[in-house]
Amino acid sequence: MQWSIEELIPQRPPFVFVDKVLDFSETEVRTSFEIKEDATLVFDGRLQEAGLIENIAQTAAALEGCNAKSNDCEVKVGFIGSVKQLEIVKSPEVGEVLETQVKILTNAMGVNVAEGIVKSSDVMVAKCVLNIFLKED
């Protein structure tokens, strides 16, 4: 099953930092994103730190979207509650393709604790742990 990224996440252009889902399971997802010159949060040919965090958050949203679509449910909106253990090794350049993996570590009372790792050419670019609050109906 393959869905467009617009079906999986609430963000819309020009604030989309995920191109497609590469694979997913109930608790993990991998996405890709090619950094384009005209992308939001690209300055001086590099994706800024906020863009890397948003890439991880949107990858987490894509996981929720994939799970919802797989179960014929409505996709829930999530909100970042906190960013912890943030490590940014470098700001990737225009033309690089990021591969981001997010794994849900725990889920309790509508809050996902998710670990995200961003790589470019198999080299880690950034990682963090996000607390994501899921909006209930």
Per-residue H/E/C for 69-120? HHCCCCCCCEEEEEEEEEEECCCCECCCEEEEEEEEEEEECCEEEEEEEEEE
CA distance 48 to 93: 9
pTM for the whole structure: 0.95
Give residue 134's pLDDT band: very low, low, confident or very high (50, 70, 90).
Answer: confident
Span 90-111, pLDDT tens digits: 999 999 999 999 999 999 888 9
Q: Which pLDDT score, from 0 to 100, does residue 71 have? A: 94
CA distance 12 to 9: 8
- Domains of the chain and CATH, by start: 5-134 (3.10.129.10)
Q: Which pLDDT score, from 0 to 100, does residue 49 have? A: 96
Contact 42, 96 (CB under 8 A): no
Q: Which pLDDT score, from 0 to 100, does residue 100 have? A: 98
Token couple for 55 = 């890439």
